[in-house]
Structure formats: C-alpha cells, structure tokens
C-alpha cells in the first residue's frame, strides 16, 4: 500500500517540478516589481489593500512552491504528503478568511484597489483553491489518491490568479507612482 501511494505521488513529480519553477519565477518578479517601486508601496499603509494584495499574491506563490516541494520528496507516504498539504490549506484559508473579513466587513479606509477586483482576482480563487486543497489533503491522509488530479485545478488556478494579481499589482503601483509624480 505504501509503495502504491508513493508511486501515485511520483507520477505527478514532473507537473510539480514545472509548477514550482513557475511559482518561484513569478514570486521573483513580484519582489522585483515591489523593490523597484518600494517608495510607492511604502506610502500605503502596512495594513492597506495594496500591501495585503501583494502579501496574499506572494503567499499563493509560496504555497505552490511548498506544495511542489512536498510532491518532489521521494518515497512520500500519506502522512508526509497529507499533513503538510493540510497545514498549507488551513493556514492559507485562514489568511483568506481574514482578508474577506477585513475588506468586506471592516474598515473602509482609502482603497487603492477596487473591492470587486480584490474579490474576483484574489479572494474567490484562493478560497476555492484552499478549500479543495484541504479536501484533497484529508483524502490523502486516509490513503486515497483518487483526487490527486484535482490538484491540477488548485495549482493552475492559483498560478493563473497569481499571475493576473501580479499584473494588477504592478499596474496599481504604476498608477500610484504616476499620480504621485503628477501631484508632486
């Protein structure tokens, strides 16, 4: 049974190698974009939507990186795979829930991002993906590998949403910088 589980995981290693590489690359691009415009980002409040958007986007890429690394470990058993995935899913779902609460129900401080954009490009995809990840990780803890194919939904959607979020983040920073130059 352990060999069957490890074999089922090993089949997915090329996919996770590619997904992890993409996530590492995109996370690097976020660092570059934010670093180039660090003055503009620093003007926004630490808890403001622009900083939170960047954190959550980077967090999604970090989650993909860690998920990919978990799947790349040779000879994984159900606990070695299921527990890290469950931890990632619960942690990231908790972060998404905090953002839902903050941006939907709490303070209405000055926003640099449209609520609908924040919701559709980041919160909805993250919530769905991490709920599916939690489900799959629980199934893996029971030794059920039937839902491993669903991980493609999680990874591809997080990569796509993260890529779009990165683009919107860079555009928002550029608009903020342009507005600051026009006013200064």
- Per-residue pLDDT of 97-117, as tens digits, reads 888 887 776 666 656 666 677
Mean pLDDT of 55-78: 92
Rounded to whole angstroms, the Cα distance separating 70 from 85 reads 8
Give the global pTM: 0.84
With 80 as the cut, is the pLDDT of residue 119 above it? no
Contact between residue 99 and residue 123 where contact means Cβ atoms under 8 Å apart? yes
Q: Is 48 a domain residue?
A: yes
Q: Is 97 a domain residue?
A: yes
- Per-residue pLDDT of 165-175, as tens digits, reads 888 878 877 77
Name the residue with higher pLDDT: 178 or 160: 160
Q: Is 184 a domain residue?
A: no
Alpha-carbon dihedral angle through residues 172, 177, 183, 184, given to the nearest 10 degrees: 160
Q: Is 35 a domain residue?
A: yes
**Count of residues in the chain:** 184
Alpha-carbon dihedral angle through residues 24, 48, 84, 157, given to the nearest 10 degrees: -60
**What residue numbers bound the domain in which 92 lies?**
2-179
Q: Structural domain tally of the chain?
A: 1
């Amino acid at each position: 049974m352990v060999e069957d589980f490890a074999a089922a995981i090993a089949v997915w290693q090329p996919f996770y190698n590619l997904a992890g590489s993409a996530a590492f690359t995109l996370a690097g691009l976020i660092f570059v974009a934010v670093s180039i415009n660090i003055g503009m980002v620093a003007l926004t409040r630490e808890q403001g939507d622009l900083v939170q958007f960047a954190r959550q986007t980077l967090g999604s890429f970090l989650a993909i990186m860690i998920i990919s690394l978990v799947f790349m470990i040779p000879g994984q058993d159900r606990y070695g795979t299921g527990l890290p995935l469950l931890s990632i899913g619960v942690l990231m779902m908790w972060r998404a829930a905090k953002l839902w609460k903050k941006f939907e129900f709490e303070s209405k401080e000055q926003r640099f991002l449209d609520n609908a954009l924040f919701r559709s490009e980041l919160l909805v995809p993250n919530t769905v993906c991490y709920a599916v990840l939690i489900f799959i990780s629980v199934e893996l803890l029971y030794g059920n590998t039937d839902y491993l194919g669903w991980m493609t939904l999680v990874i591809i959607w997080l990569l796509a949403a993260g890529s779009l979020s990165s683009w919107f983040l860079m555009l928002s920073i550029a608009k903020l910088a342009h507005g600051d130059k026009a006013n200064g």
